[in-house]
Amino acid sequence: MVNWIAGAWRRAVRDIAQLQLWEVLRRRDTRKLANQNEQALAFAVERCIACPRPEECSRLLAAGQDEKIEAFCPNTMYLRHLDAMQRHAPKKDLLAGPD
């Protein structure tokens, strides 16, 4: 029984590492923002794991049609939130001041 549980845990960890969510965050350049709120990211991972359309997501990512994922992605609102955070983040070049 312990071996079965350990094997299931290893498969789950490997599966989490392969989630399309990581690629979406990378392409949107929002991974660092996502890491700032571990609980929200954990919920996003759970939603991604439970998604009934991972094959369609993978196909759209491979085709470079990331924007079409939002039509069915359970993390659409989360991704939009991260995009908004990124848009409204202070810009380093504006804060540097004159030389």
The string of DSSP codes covering 35-94 is: HT-HHHHHHHHHHHHH-S-HHHHHHHHHTT-GGGGGGT-TTHHHHHHHHHHHHHSPPHHH
Tens digit of each residue's pLDDT (9 = 90 or more) over 50-89: 999 999 999 999 999 999 999 999 999 999 999 999 999 8
Q: How many CB atoms lie within 10 A of CB 9?
A: 10
Tens digit of each residue's pLDDT (9 = 90 or more) over 9-47: 444 555 788 999 999 999 999 999 999 999 999 999 999
